[in-house]
Chains A and B, each alone.
Chain A
Amino acid sequence: MSDAAKKDTPEQAEFRAYCQDWLADNHPGRPTVKIPQGALELSDPDALKWLKQWQKSAYDAGLIGCDYPKEVGGGGKTNCQAIANAEMQKAKTPYLPNIIGMGMAAPTVFFHAQDEVKAELLPSLLSGEHIWCQGFSEPGAGSDLANQQTFAERDGDNWVINGHKVWTSLAHFADWMILLCRTDKSDKYNGLSYFVVPIKSALGKGVTVRPLIKLTGETGFNEVLFEDFIVEDRYRLDEVGKGWAVAMTTLAHERGAGPLVTPSSGGMSLEEGESVSTSNAMSLVDLAKKQKRSGKTAADDAVIRDEIMKLMIRREAMSQNGRRAGVPSLVDHPMRIALQGKLVATELNQDMAELAYQIEGMASTLYVNDESAPAGGQWPLAYMNSFGVTIAAGANEVQRNILGERVLGLPKSK
Chain B
Amino acid sequence: MSTQPKNFGFGEDETMLRDSARKFFTDNCSADKLHGLVATDPDIHRSIDSVWDKDLWQQIVDLGWTAVCVPESAGGIGMPAVAAVALAEEAGRAAFPSPMLSTFNATFVLNNCQSEAASQALGEIASGKATTLAITDQAGSWDSLNTDVGVNSDGSLSGTAYFVQDAGKVEQLVVSAKSSAGIGLYLVDVQAAGVEMIADGIIDLTRDQAHVVFSNASATEMAAPGTGNEIIDKAMPAILSIVSADMVGAGEWLLQTTIEYAKTRVQFDRPLGFFQAVKHPLVNVMLDIDRSKSLAYNAACAYDTDPDNAMGFAHMAKSQAGEMAVFSSSRAVQFHGGIGFTWECYVHLFFKRQMHNQVLYGDAKYHRALLADKVMGAAA
Residues A302 and B379 in contact, CB atoms below 8 Å apart:
yes
B158 at the interface (CB under 8 A from A): no
Residues A413 and B275 in contact, CB atoms below 8 Å apart:
yes
B170 at the interface (CB under 8 A from A): no
A contact residues around B298 at 8 Å (CB): 316, 320, 323
Q: How far is the CA of A336 from the CA of B298 in the complex (A)?
A: 18
A contact residues around B365 at 8 Å (CB): 306
Among A3, A296, A329, max chain B CB count under 10 A is at A329
- Give how many A residues have a beta carbon under 8 Å from the other chain's beta carbons: 51
B52 at the interface (CB under 8 A from A): no
A contact residues around B273 at 8 Å (CB): 404, 408, 410-411
B73 to chain A, nearest CB (A): 26
Residues B280 and A400 in contact, CB atoms below 8 Å apart:
yes
B contact residues around A410 at 8 Å (CB): 259, 262-263, 273-274, 278-279, 282
Q: How far is the CA of A324 from the CA of B380 in the complex (A)?
A: 38
Q: How far is the CA of A317 from the CA of B276 in the complex (A)?
A: 25
Contacts A313-B320, A329-B10, A410-B273; is A320 near B294 (CB within 8 Å)? Answer: yes
B293 at the interface (CB under 8 A from A): yes
Q: How far is the CA of A179 from the CA of B283 in the complex (A)?
A: 31
B contact residues around A131 at 8 Å (CB): none
B1 to chain A, nearest CB (A): 5
Residues A403 and B295 in contact, CB atoms below 8 Å apart:
no
Q: How far is the CA of A256 from the CA of B90 in the complex (A)?
A: 30
B contact residues around A404 at 8 Å (CB): 273, 279-280, 282-283
CB-defined interface of B315-337 with A at 8 Å, one 1/0 digit per residue?
01001100000000000000000
CB-defined interface of B352-380 with A at 8 Å, one 1/0 digit per residue?
00000000000001001101100111011
Residues B379 and A337 in contact, CB atoms below 8 Å apart:
no
Q: Which of B271, B274, B286, B293 contacts A408 (CB 8 A)?
A: B286
Give the number of residue pairs across the A-B interface with Cβ within 8 Å.
Answer: 154
Residues A3 and B4 in contact, CB atoms below 8 Å apart:
yes
Residues A403 and B7 in contact, CB atoms below 8 Å apart:
no
Q: Among residues 296 to 336 in chain A, which have CB atoms less than 8 Å away from a CB atom of chain B?
A: 296-297, 299-302, 305-306, 308-310, 312-314, 316-318, 320-321, 323-324, 326-327, 329-330, 336
CB-defined interface of B1-20 with A at 8 Å, one 1/0 digit per residue?
11111111010001100100
Q: How far is the CA of A412 from the CA of B274 in the complex (A)?
A: 6
A409 at the interface (CB under 8 A from B): yes
8 new A-B contacts at CB < 8 Å, known A316-B295, A317-B295, A411-B273: A285-B375, A308-B372, A317-B291, A317-B316, A320-B297, A323-B6, A326-B6, A329-B15
Query: Can you sample 28 A-B contacts with CB below 8 Å?
Result: A2-B2, A3-B2, A3-B3, A4-B6, A7-B6, A297-B380, A299-B376, A300-B380, A301-B379, A302-B369, A309-B319, A309-B375, A313-B291, A313-B295, A314-B291, A317-B290, A317-B320, A327-B8, A327-B10, A329-B10, A330-B10, A397-B280, A401-B279, A407-B286, A408-B273, A410-B262, A411-B273, A411-B274
Closest 10 A/B residue pairs (Cβ): A320-B294, A317-B291, A410-B273, A404-B279, A309-B368, A305-B372, A329-B15, A300-B379, A300-B380, A411-B274
Chain B positions near chain A (C-beta within 8 angstroms): 1-8, 10, 14-15, 18, 255, 259, 262-263, 270-271, 273-276, 278-280, 282-284, 286-287, 290-295, 297-298, 313, 316, 319-320, 365, 368-369, 371-372, 375-377, 379-380
